[in-house]
Chain A
């Protein structure tokens, strides 16, 4: 800022029909007022205008922009402008503005049209699809290779991942499964009691939990807990060029980062599902004895008759596939992060949303296929 910054409002006065008298601070804090005044002013009709700018106390780039724009407009209208009393430092500022002015208009035209944006979006989507396939292919090859030679799997990373994503998830999974069994039995209790069919609470809790709800709730929890962590971890490593360092050391990021995580989840998710089965059924049994007069022993003996072992196996069977989906989506989104901070947040969210979506779609697909086969 040049000159004094006393709070003096800028003024533009027309004197004598041809002299424009300017005063005050032509600085950013006062610019709105000034800009309004200049756009609303009725310029004198005469051809020559004299700008008396001696009393402008301070001027910054904003003020110079406004002055320059006004003068350019007036010259464009065919008037002769002369300046009086322009301080050398203001003149310098005006010169910088006028020498860069041609570029300023360039900004307005650099907006993209809808068509361009649509095209960009289309190509981006196509590229994404190719990249996802590429990732899946590379992953499948690496995983198969590691299964052929299990010594390739990083044992330490695998164990660390098992602890983080399996063992440490036990309390929250157990609590949620217990509450779900509790809620299902509780909601069913009212209806069953009306028909005197109290004992069927075992079928209700047992089949729905073992076959669908326990695997699903575990998968959703793990997607939120671990899938997002995978995306963020790998993404952060990408941003800090750690992934490049891994590659230049002759190691494969797939082998080091993806395979241990996929394997760990393939082990952890089925185990967590069994655990969730147990606690969920326990939650149901608590309600059954409390609300429906079905004692624990009755509950267990009915459970043996009513709940076929296949329901358990179907639930457990889906778990490793859920695990693969969650681990791959998380890692894939992590690898897609491109060096910016909001990308990390966006991709992490996407990893959770996409993996839950794909888990449920896969589950629905399983239900359809199994009902065709009458199991």
Chain B
């Protein structure tokens, strides 16, 4: 497992099939994600978006097919010795998944404390900087997750995901359940971080506004397959009825119109 840089593409999903009992979630799904892009996985509820992301980060093993993440087989991520890969990507879960027994500051510090032997004072500085750069006030640093609002928890989870300056950031529904202003701010924040840290971002989302604003490429999942893959403009031309429905339903049209204005 030599840490050779930039095995392009950064993620390679090939011929993945997933089943939960009799239900087929993915039926021969293949896609590649290049370094430096914001790649979105879209699709209706239950189309297996989150499952695909969980498979990429090694939390779920597909029934067949292979997934390579940063040049390593995803199924090996749970094993010892995979820490080198783990510290190269950050994950933000949908509900934040902050550790409820730790304060915000301690939560953000967890990867640094576990993966490095840095001086505590330096860890505090890096943590404080990350908390500030996701736009959280310093007063919130000593608060516990339950004392934070939903939007703040999401930001805190993002701070924890980027504290190691990963190359790759996974976001599971980053803007779901946030009000439009905070959601738009969150999109901005992700774009900022992407340019600043040269991140590759993989996000699962339903949010059509986010898709138009920040996604470089989008894969639409449905019926266990990839129905369409490309930029939003390309997908908007798609002849596939399900993709068409997704983008030209009442909400899709509004988001598209706003973006084009």
Contacts and interface: CB of A to CB of B under 8 A. Distances in A.
B48 interface: no
A65 B124 contact: no
B119 A35 contact: yes
B127 to A, nearest CB: 8
A111 B141 CA distance: 10
Interface string A28-55: 1101100100000000000000000000
A25 to B, nearest CB: 11
Contacts of B195: 92
Nearest to A105: B128
Interface stretch (A229-237, A315-323, A338-346): A338-346
B100 A342 contact: yes
Nearest to B143: A110
Interface string A92-119: 1100110011011011101110000000
A66 B119 CA distance: 12
B245 to A, nearest CB: 33
Given A107-B105, A342-B101, A32 B128 contact: no
A99 to B, nearest CB: 9
A62 interface: yes
A4 B167 CA distance: 12
A1 B139 contact: no
B119 A96 contact: no
Given A1-B167, A96-B196, A111-B142, A104 B125 contact: yes
Interface string B94-109: 0000001100010000
A100 B129 contact: yes
Interface residues of B, number: 36
Contacts of B126: 61-62, 65
A160 interface: no
B197 A103 contact: no
A27 interface: yes
Contact of B122 (A31, A92, A97, A341): A31
B88 to A, nearest CB: 8
Interface string B73-88: 0000000000000000
A60 B138 contact: no
A61 B141 contact: no
B216 interface: no
B63 interface: no
B250 interface: no
B129 A97 contact: yes
Interface string A71-96: 00000000000000000010011001
A69 interface: yes
A130 interface: no
Given A106-B128, A339-B146, A340-B145, A2 B197 contact: yes
Contacts of A164: none
Interface in B5-20: 5
A340 B99 CA distance: 9
Nearest to A345: B101
Contacts of A28: 112, 116, 118, 164-165
Contacts of A61: 126, 129-130, 165, 197
13 contacts: A1-B165, A27-B165, A62-B165, A92-B196, A96-B133, A100-B133, A106-B139, A107-B127, A338-B146, A340-B100, A341-B100, A343-B100, A343-B146
Interface of A: 1-2, 4-7, 27-29, 31-32, 35, 60-62, 65-66, 69, 89, 92-93, 96-97, 100-101, 103-104, 106-108, 110-112, 338-343
Given A1-B167, A96-B133, 11 more contacts: A2-B197, A6-B5, A35-B119, A35-B122, A61-B129, A62-B118, A65-B125, A65-B126, A100-B133, A103-B132, A107-B138
10 smallest CB-CB distances across A and B, nearest first, come from: A106-B138, A60-B165, A100-B132, A340-B100, A104-B128, A107-B128, A103-B132, A342-B101, A340-B146, A341-B100
